[in-house]
Structure 1
Amino acid sequence: MKIYRFRLFIFILLLCSPAALLTAQPLSFRHLNTASGLLSDQGIQLCEDRMGRIWIATDEGINIFDGYAVTACTRDNKSGLLNNRINAILCDSAGTIWVATPAGLQYKNENSNRFATVENPSRLPLEKALLIREARTGILIFTKDSCFLVDHHKRVRPLYGISSLISTRANMLTASHVEGDTWLLGIRAKTLMVDIARQVLIRELPYDNAWSLCRVKGSEWLACGLAGDSVVLMNIDTGTMELVNNWKTANGKKLVGYGSEIERIDADRYAMGTRYHGLYILNTKTRSVEQYGNDPGDATSVNSSFLRRVLVTRNRTLVVHGNGISYTTLSEPAFSAVRSFTNEKRIKYQNVVNCFYQDSAGQLWIGTNNYLIKWNRHDPVSRFYSYYGKDEGPLDMRTIRAVLPDFRNRIWIGAFGDGFGRLRPDGGFDKIPTSITGRGDSLVSSEFHRVVADRHGNFLVATGARFYLFDPRTNKLETFRGHPQLRTITQGYTTHFFADRNDNWWFAQSRGLSFYDKKTDRVHAIALPGSQRDNNIFAVEEDLNGNIYACGYYGVYIIDPQTLQVKKQLDKSDGLETSYVVGLLRDLEGNIWIIGNRGLACYHPGAGTVVSFDEKDGLIQSNHRVSAYYRARDGELFIGTQTGFNHFYPSTLRIRSYPLQVFITDVYAEDSVLNVLDGRRLRFSYRGNSLVFRYLTVDYEHAGAMQYRYKLTGFDTTYIYAYKERLARYTNLPSGDYRFEAEASVNGKDWYKAVHPLVFTINRAFWNTWWFRLSALLLLAALACLFYKWRIGQVKKEARLRSDFEIRLNELEHKALRTQMNPHFIFNSLNTINSFINCNDRILANQYISKFSKLVRLTLDNSRAKKILLRDELEVIKIYIELEQVRFDQRFAYTLSTGGIDPDMVEIPSMIIQPFVENAILHGLLPADRPGTLMVAVSQHAATLLVVIEDDGVGRQAARKQKEQRPVNRKSHGLDITLKRIESFNKGYNVFEPVRIIDLEDAEGRPAGTRVVISLAIADAF
């Protein structure tokens, strides 16, 4: 009953005064909820993948947050999830995401976009899993009363020993790895130390109902639970416990328990979520705590004081769940930031900061749009002072544009539109009336932009209409309207009235920069480089060497004080975040701090170098204010913005490197999504040449300022600036090799490349590939070859048919020739016989008739055969020659030889020699005017039979002339037919020697006859 009453009291206290739980609020949280894309705010589990993304498991699916965008992974979007209710989630050391759902245990490899299901042939109750942990031998799965191990081959087996230890005591709550196979198990009883491999209990620890166990160092562990309000620092070797509830906050309040989860921040600090009291940061070194709860009036506080889940990422981002997700960075920035002020009445101011002044006690006085605020960095409560116009009401509060002390260290303020005021000890203000020392003034502009004190204690006042010199001792205001030199520039929009070390004056105005030399009583207009019409100057500063610096829309101008010429200009191209510069401030070391509309830079006059800073260094992501900057006596610099201010000591500023990790995650091609985190080389078909690349960098602090650029080497010649777009689209890419690169930057100057550029190839269309073209050429060549062979076959067939036809025709012609020759020869022979009879030469007539009859008989016999014996052919030749000798009165002699060849063993075509013999007699020997000789010689040469017919007649040329002189030229086809018969006969024996006809000459080169050489294939007679 006492416990119940205590809890009820705490609950009522929370309802009545949530702000009472708050102490200092240096952590600034951002938020995610269902309006930001969260699927649900119930059943939340958190884990971080190897890219640094936060996986948020809910009862409606999984969200993935990278600092900029929230994506969803559900059963309905082809993720492979079997059920949207996620009971547990883990990212193991290989990057595999494990989830437990009512449908079973599933996992997604880092280089995959789909979840797969762990096979469960034994039907183990994996659907009841509540915790997933990574062990040395695999993945541990805990249900309410059981434990299972999934080995590296995705095989599941129960751990009966561990399951027995859990089920015999109470429900499973948490599990934490100690070392090796040793684990701590938090259950609804004593905390257990077990050996997972041997499945045995090592010892029981005295802490009950441990919902979270977090190692501190060595054997010291922090333990907390939602069932009780005690938080302890426990030694797991001895079992001794220290009650953390006795640790106190800065304002002396003790820690209240009901811890839900503890996560390590660093060696000394630990973040703990609680049921009722928000977030605690436990410091084990100082034994102190910081508390961060929900403040309804502060949008940067945690969303709820009931926090169930806590996660600290590798890049030191703190993530908590309670009425949505709240997250903040834990890294110490280079620049400290103050974004809000709260007074004793819990009134909060988190708006524009205009000016600063630090008094001798170290209190900082800050002019804002609503109040003059006294701020103490060691006290969370600030004091607000209101300065009113005519009426004292919230609508009549004036903007404080200047705050500075006078010679008596009284605090003065310059109110925009309402003159000077001086702070009284009671917190009120005295409005200071001013007397005009200039002549002809009836109206004084009090639209203050900047008020500073010179070495004489006078206030140099810059306003929206003119500049003044104010003496706080006499309240006299000098307008310079009657000044012989300054009156020419007194009227004009002035943002800075500056006195240099020689007590000369510089005026930053909308018309430009002017310099007044008191010694010479002259005003000089400073000529600025460039052709811009807008020469608005916002601020003036002087370095230790007397060089003057002025700034405006186009950067910083460095002016030689002797020549009054601009000798150097600094702008964005020199490393500034922007060329739009609103302020200049010199630190104690002589460096010039350049305050851009956004961003900050330090210029070292000696080295001439520029070092830039931006949001990643801790600068508030807001525009800087004209004149909202200040250097305290100890050297600390203050820079005001639209939403607070930054402060830092330049001498102790640590410049850190903030490399960004850029990932190319997916490629969309042909209606599919490919995970490319492993950086493998891809190959796409010619149809898949329209691609979409997705890339990102995980940064929870500067995601809003992140910008990207990309380049597709092989297609793009320069980087494409995508700004915040994280998709790159390419359509109709030609075939070839490509390399996609993506880069990210926070400030637009420092670019960081993707960890794994994506290399891929788009294949050629098959008709454009070398193998297709080669195949096509080979096919065409093969077709051409086949066609050629077919055509050659056709030609050979036609030639064979033609040859057969010609042979047959030749045979017929030969037979016809012989048929024609026989009567002709008979006629000539009969004439010869008749002449013998007329001469009464019976003996010659009888001899001639005998030989003639024999020749006729042999001719008739031989004409019936294609081939005859060489003896028969030679006998016909002999009879024919002898008859011709008789006929022509022995005008020629002849020889007939066989060269050792047996004429009875060789066959030749019939009547193949006779036409050449006849031609030699008739056209060679007879036309000669002298007796001649005819030689017929047959010999064997290699595989051929050589027949030589040689005469010593007139030769072919003389015979041709005689033929041309005849009145009638009859064309003889006998010799042509004989040549074709010889060619056809030889072709059958693969002999291709042509008939050679040789013209013979004597020693003096005169025609001496003709020789015919016939090469015949040797055909043996059988």
Structure 2
Amino acid sequence: MPIQFKHRILRPIQEHQAATFMVKSCIYLFRRYAPIQQPMKSYLTGIVFILILADHPIRSQSKAFRYFTDEDGLPGMTVYGILQDPKGFLWIATSKGICRFDGRSFKRYQLKGIKGFDTPYSFIDKEGIPWFYNLAGEILFVRNDSLQRLEIQAIKPAANIYSLYIENPYLYISWSQTSSPATYRYNIFNLKENKKLEHNYIFLGPKNGELIGYDYSRRKDLFNVYKVDKNELIFSQKISNKKQVDFIYEIDRYIHNSSNLDIYIASNFIRIVDSCGNLISNKYFPDLTNENIKYISIINEDELFINTNKNSYSFFLKTGLLKLIPYFNNSINTIFEDSYNRRWISTTDHGLILDPNNSSQVINYNQGFLASNEVYNINHLLGYNFLGHNNGKISCIKEIDYIKYLNLPGLGRVRFILGWKSKTLLIGLDLGIYILNSSLNSETNCSGMQIGSLKAAHIKSDSELLVCSSLGIYSCDLNELKNGNCKEFVSRRELDARALCIKKYKGRIFAGTVNGLYVRGNNFSWQKLLNKDIFINQLYNYKDSLLWICTDGEGMFQFDGSKIVDSLNIDFGLPSNNISSVCYLDSERIAIGTDNGAYIYNYISKEGFILDQIDGLPGNEINDIKYNNGVVWIGTSKGLFQISSNELIPNQEKPLIEISEAFAFSRYGLIPIQSRLNHDQNHLKFNFQTRSLISKSALQIYYKLFEQDTQWLKSQSNSLEFIGLAAGKYNLQLKVLNEDQLSSEIVTKTFEIYPPWWKTTWFNVAMILGISTLGVGYSFFRHQKIKREEAKERAISDQMNMLREEALQNQMNPHFMFNALNAIQSFLTNNDQFNAMKYLSKFGRLIRMIFEQSKQRRISLEQEIAFLKNYLELEKLRFKDKVSIEFNIANDVEEKSSEKMIPSLIIQPIIENAFKHGLLHKDTDGRISISMEFVNGQFICIVEDNGIGRQRAALINTWKKNGRKSTGLASTKERLGILDKGKKMMGLELTDLYDLNGNPAGTRVVIKL
């Protein structure tokens, strides 16, 4: 049996210190006597398993506050008044100055020459302007985002301010002159214009739009309330006990609540009066155990906060109940409750504190309540809530409100805590397994088993245990393990893979590893599923209906036993794809833990929201989430967070967005954007401010430029810039979403950019009228011009037809046809039927192509090339070995030949002309080359021969009798000139070629299309 230490009930912080002392003492004894003799060492091993028991009230844990200090930008750690203006900003007065809080940062307001920074008094007037007066007697206000001072030195008497109120254009001040106290009304814009009022007032605030106050000089006899400007008495009460009246002026207030009751807070009295002026209730507070009131704050229309020198209370006006508030009482100054029922607490020396005003609690080591801040796993067993920490530490929270600490001798994290049989615990650390009985005394210690770092375990039956480790999955007999046979594991490795989690689902055992999901077979073998390498952190079985797979980097998957049926990741709103844990809260919601906060997901509505440090979590890295008896337990690396599941709701604060600046760039500089802009004022910029008191920088801004747009665009900054907007009407819409996707009201800015004068309607109308006026004359001349153009077109058409006929005639040259037929006849004579049929086929195809092209004005280059190849084959047959033919087509021409269109019957006459006049009279070594290419996008065809030249050919033609004039080149050139229409994009260039001796050496013809 291990040694048990007697204990006594300790104070909370003392309990933790005592636990630490006892554990250190045991370790010292173990080390001290270990070298002496082995029996003593074995005996003292049990001492290390120590349970330190202490009654520890759980309900006294810290609420989940959010703290703001000077490190966050507060001017001082002592905070006085907290105000909220109509725009949603918080104005905070501190001992070291004034600041404004927008949810992201504190903006400090300073003024050169100010005499004092300690500013305990503040209020907001009906125009939303914050006012302050400091201990040096200076009156300060913020206008146009600048701190200003009301210069009252010239009229200020030798006295301090007792009470002050602003009701534009008047300033009301009660001075504390001991000889003759006085109240004055000043004109803010001319302080020398003032009036002494009939009574000496302590101002309570406006009632029905009129300032009211009670007469300070009669306060011990009568409580008389007046309309200040009219000097009209509206309420009076005789004071029976003059000793009960204390001097507390800065807390005096007036409230009119929804029950149509007037509440007067004056000194240490609260008086409740009905609409007829009858006193309903009169509460005197210093009767509370002789406590002195420090502050009274208006939390809401029914609840007042009262802070004394000893305690803090809530006073409920409707019931008259006075309730003690379990805050750190001696430091609180005031409490301000915003419209979302969150409470902002100003303190002395502790900064500003935000209370979410719910049941959430934070439990951590610093309070002396946990063995460590790092909570890695949470389990509800044997009436305890077990929290596993590092270095073998376990915090055991009992339902009956006390904590035990369990310190195991092993090092590393507590990886799992399982219940075995009825009242036995199985606890796994990184490097060992421990079995504890129902009294939490150790029965077995198995450490150093050489199976790697433990990760998770599953009790398959009363006698079989499966353990996941960094080296794989091992199994053992639990009874052998309980008897101390720790080597049972080493020889029973079933899977060689780094395994992190294991769960039973639909009768089968599933394990998650760093490279995927495995299932255990009947023969103790493991089979990989899904054919997908995923890093699995955790598996969660929900009522055997589905298995959640939590991954590192890929979100979550729903698994039905054979396939993935659904998934969740950052695209669906999760704060991270690194999932550590999941648990079901009810029939509709699950809680998902990630390394960037928790996510509460409604799998019916497919909506969710984030729970993180903004909501009070001590840290965003979630290690485990459990649900028990209506309470959600969230273990983080910085402590434990508890909250009722009914209070898990998204951030209800509707964020705000406003356009702070809107200007256009023009040649005169920056100008404010008006509803109408000139056409050259189309470069616009909009700056805007967003606010949410708790969302920090998690706000997302979206916009639409046109009202008919259906899709919102996301802005990456707090400004939008539009360059080169077209003329038209625009309706810029802005909205902002908080971290839980709650939207602000949509802010709009409507404007219109006018077109230039030459694009306006009136100018177009004028142009139409002018054109209409000229229409008749223009129509006449146009009609005449059309007639002339039609005649010209007919002439051109006739000319083109004539030229095409000439081209056709050139192609149907009888000499060519006769020679081709003679060549075919010679094949037949020589019984060469193959060549005869081959060339007869080519001849027939050529004739058919000539007739087809003669019917078309334009043909593709591909057709022309095919035609030319056919033609050249026949010419080669005609000239035999006298002429060599080269046909070079560039690659880009080949690629575009089907797309490029050219005039029909345009290239062949040029080639025929080269044969007829250049090569016909050359006896041997004739050569003709045809090349086609694109040059700067223009099609170029070059026909070059080494014939006798144009001059000699012309001379030979003149000798021939009955010679026919050649028209091939001339007609082709004329056709191209007509088709070009003066653009100089098409044409024909002829060049005579000469050898080195100046003798004619052929002709080059360049065709441009």
TM-score, reference length from structure 1: 0.55
How far residue 722 of structure 1 moved from its aligned partner, in angstroms, is: 5.5
* C-alpha distance 311-30 of structure 1, shift in aligned 2 (>3 A): same
1:749-768 Cα shifts (integer Å, max 9, x gaps)? 7252454233456788x999
Q: Which of residues 54, 60, 63 in structure 2 aligns to 1:26?
A: 63
How far residue 320 of structure 1 moved from its aligned partner, in angstroms, is: 0.7
Q: Which residue of 2 aligns with 1:401?
A: 415
Q: Which residue of 1 aligns with 2:541?
A: 542
Matched, 1:53 2:89: yes
Indicate the SS of the match to 1:573. helix
Q: Which residue of 1 aligns with 2:819?
A: none
Matched, 1:271 2:305: yes
Q: Which residue of 1 aligns with 2:930?
A: none
Larger mean CA deviation between 49-58 and 736-745 belongs to 736-745
1:527-566 Cα shifts (integer Å, max 9, x gaps)? 156xxxx5111222233463333221323222333xx122
Q: Which residue of 2 aligns with 1:475?
A: 481
How far residue 259 of structure 1 moved from its aligned partner, in angstroms, is: 1.8
* C-alpha distance 354-270 of structure 1, shift in aligned 2 (>3 A): farther
Matched, 1:192 2:190: no
Matched, 1:430 2:447: no
- Find the aligned partners of 2:687 and 2:163 in 1 and give their Cα distance: 35
Instruction: Give structure 1 stretches of 5+ with no counterpart.
Output: 1-19, 167-171, 226-230, 248-253, 295-304, 390-396, 436-440, 778-1022
Matched, 1:70 2:106: yes
Amino acid at match of 2:73: G
1:840-869 Cα shifts (integer Å, max 9, x gaps)? xxxxxxxxxxxxxxxxxxxxxxxxxxxxxx
Q: Which residue of 2 aligns with 1:744?
A: 736
- Find the aligned partners of 2:750 and 2:468 in 1 and give their Cα distance: 60
How far residue 271 of structure 1 moved from its aligned partner, in angstroms, is: 3.3
- Find the aligned partners of 1:68 and 1:673 in 2 and give their Cα distance: 32
* C-alpha distance 139-365 of structure 1, shift in aligned 2 (>3 A): farther
Q: Report sequence identity in percent.
A: 12
* C-alpha distance 221-146 of structure 1, shift in aligned 2 (>3 A): same
- Find the aligned partners of 1:165 and 1:323 in 2 and give their Cα distance: 35
Q: Which of residues 204, 223, 248 in structure 2 aligns to 1:175?
A: 204
Amino acid at match of 1:318: W
Q: Which of residues 289, 308, 329 in structure 1 aligns to 2:355?
A: 329
Q: Work out whether residues 93 and 119 of structure 2, in 8 Å CA contact, stay in contact via their aligned partners in 1.
A: yes
Matched, 1:365 2:359: no
1:195-249 Cα shifts (integer Å, max 9, x gaps)? 2243447235553223424669887969697xxxxx77666766976565787xx
Indicate the SS of the match to 2:571. helix
Q: Work out whether residues 281 and 289 of structure 1, in 8 Å CA contact, stay in contact via their aligned partners in 2.
A: yes
How far residue 66 of structure 1 moved from its aligned partner, in angstroms, is: 1.0
What is the CA RMSD across the aligned residues, in angstroms?
Answer: 5.6
- Find the aligned partners of 1:661 and 1:629 in 2 and give their Cα distance: 29
1:950-996 Cα shifts (integer Å, max 9, x gaps)? xxxxxxxxxxxxxxxxxxxxxxxxxxxxxxxxxxxxxxxxxxxxxxx
Q: Which residue of 2 aligns with 1:496?
A: 501
Q: Which residue of 1 aligns with 2:986?
A: none
- Find the aligned partners of 1:241 and 1:497 in 2 and give their Cα distance: 67
Q: Which residue of 2 aligns with 1:702?
A: 695
Indicate the SS of the match to 1:752. coil
User: What number of residue pairs does the alignment pair up?
Assistant: 681
Q: Which residue of 2 aligns with 1:527?
A: 530
1:808-827 Cα shifts (integer Å, max 9, x gaps)? xxxxxxxxxxxxxxxxxxxx
How far residue 674 of structure 1 moved from its aligned partner, in angstroms, is: 12
Superposed, 1:173-572 pairs within 5 Å as 175=204, 183=212, 185=214, 190=220, 192-196=223-227, 197-200=230-233, 202-205=236-239, 206-211=244-249, 212-213=251-252, 256-265=291-300, 267=302, 269-274=303-308, 287-293=322-328, 305-315=330-340, 316-323=342-349, 325-332=351-358, 336-340=360-364, 346=368, 351-361=373-383, 363-369=384-390, 371-375=393-397, 382-389=403-410, 398-420=412-434, 422=436, 425=439, 430=442, 432-434=444-446, 443-445=450-452, 447-451=453-457, 453=459, 456=462, 460-469=466-475, 474-475=480-481, 487=494, 489=495, 491-502=496-507, 504-518=508-522, 523-527=526-530, 534-544=533-543, 546-552=545-551, 553-561=553-561, 564-572=562-570
How far residue 517 of structure 1 moved from its aligned partner, in angstroms, is: 3.8
How far residue 611 of structure 1 moved from its aligned partner, in angstroms, is: 3.7
- Find the aligned partners of 1:157 and 1:458 in 2 and give their Cα distance: 94
Instruction: Give structure 2 stretches of 5+ with no counterpart.
Output: 1-56, 768-1009
Amino acid at match of 1:69: S
* C-alpha distance 653-54 of structure 1, shift in aligned 2 (>3 A): closer
Q: Which of residues 653, 656, 668 in structure 2 aligns to 1:662?
A: 656
How far residue 577 of structure 1 moved from its aligned partner, in angstroms, is: 3.9
Matched, 1:644 2:635: no
Q: Work out whether residues 661 and 755 of structure 1, in 8 Å CA contact, stay in contact via their aligned partners in 2.
A: no
- Find the aligned partners of 2:663 and 2:120 in 1 and give their Cα distance: 33
- Find the aligned partners of 1:575 and 1:430 in 2 and give their Cα distance: 45
- Find the aligned partners of 2:79 and 2:381 in 1 and give their Cα distance: 52
- Find the aligned partners of 2:138 and 2:462 in 1 and give their Cα distance: 82
1:569-594 Cα shifts (integer Å, max 9, x gaps)? 33333444443322233456486544
Q: Work out whether residues 449 and 490 of structure 2, in 8 Å CA contact, stay in contact via their aligned partners in 1.
A: no
Q: Work out whether residues 136 and 181 of structure 1, in 8 Å CA contact, stay in contact via their aligned partners in 2.
A: no
- Find the aligned partners of 1:40 and 1:768 in 2 and give their Cα distance: 63
Q: Work out whether residues 88 and 132 of structure 1, in 8 Å CA contact, stay in contact via their aligned partners in 2.
A: no
- Find the aligned partners of 2:204 and 2:172 in 1 and give their Cα distance: 10
* C-alpha distance 233-87 of structure 1, shift in aligned 2 (>3 A): closer
Superposed, 1:689-838 pairs within 5 Å as 689=683, 691=685, 693-699=687-693, 701-710=694-703, 721=714, 726-728=718-720, 739-747=731-739, 750=741, 752-760=743-751
How far residue 355 of structure 1 moved from its aligned partner, in angstroms, is: 1.6
Superposed, 1:997-1012 pairs within 5 Å as none
Q: Work out whether residues 342 and 349 of structure 1, in 8 Å CA contact, stay in contact via their aligned partners in 2.
A: no
- Find the aligned partners of 2:98 and 2:680 in 1 and give their Cα distance: 35
Q: Work out whether residues 43 and 58 of structure 1, in 8 Å CA contact, stay in contact via their aligned partners in 2.
A: yes
Amino acid at match of 1:311: F
- Find the aligned partners of 1:224 and 1:213 in 2 and give their Cα distance: 5
1:666-694 Cα shifts (integer Å, max 9, x gaps)? 11759999999xx9958699689564503
- Find the aligned partners of 1:659 and 1:375 in 2 and give their Cα distance: 34
Superposed, 1:559-958 pairs within 5 Å as 559-561=559-561, 564-587=562-585, 589=587, 593-601=591-599, 609-615=606-612, 618=615, 620=617, 622-626=619-623, 628-632=624-628, 634=629, 636-647=631-642, 652=646, 655=649, 658=652, 660-667=654-661, 689=683, 691=685, 693-699=687-693, 701-710=694-703, 721=714, 726-728=718-720, 739-747=731-739, 750=741, 752-760=743-751
Q: Work out whether residues 667 and 675 of structure 1, in 8 Å CA contact, stay in contact via their aligned partners in 2.
A: no
* C-alpha distance 104-629 of structure 1, shift in aligned 2 (>3 A): closer
How far residue 499 of structure 1 moved from its aligned partner, in angstroms, is: 1.6
* C-alpha distance 233-419 of structure 1, shift in aligned 2 (>3 A): farther
How far residue 311 of structure 1 moved from its aligned partner, in angstroms, is: 2.8
1:583-636 Cα shifts (integer Å, max 9, x gaps)? 23345648654434445456677x58454443499472733445x23344x465
Q: Which residue of 2 aligns with 1:301?
A: none
Q: Work out whether residues 629 and 638 of structure 1, in 8 Å CA contact, stay in contact via their aligned partners in 2.
A: yes
How far residue 353 of structure 1 moved from its aligned partner, in angstroms, is: 1.4
Q: Which has the larger radius of gyration?
A: 1
* C-alpha distance 684-473 of structure 1, shift in aligned 2 (>3 A): farther
* C-alpha distance 222-76 of structure 1, shift in aligned 2 (>3 A): same
* C-alpha distance 133-467 of structure 1, shift in aligned 2 (>3 A): farther
Q: Work out whether residues 639 and 646 of structure 1, in 8 Å CA contact, stay in contact via their aligned partners in 2.
A: yes
How far residue 194 of structure 1 moved from its aligned partner, in angstroms, is: 0.7
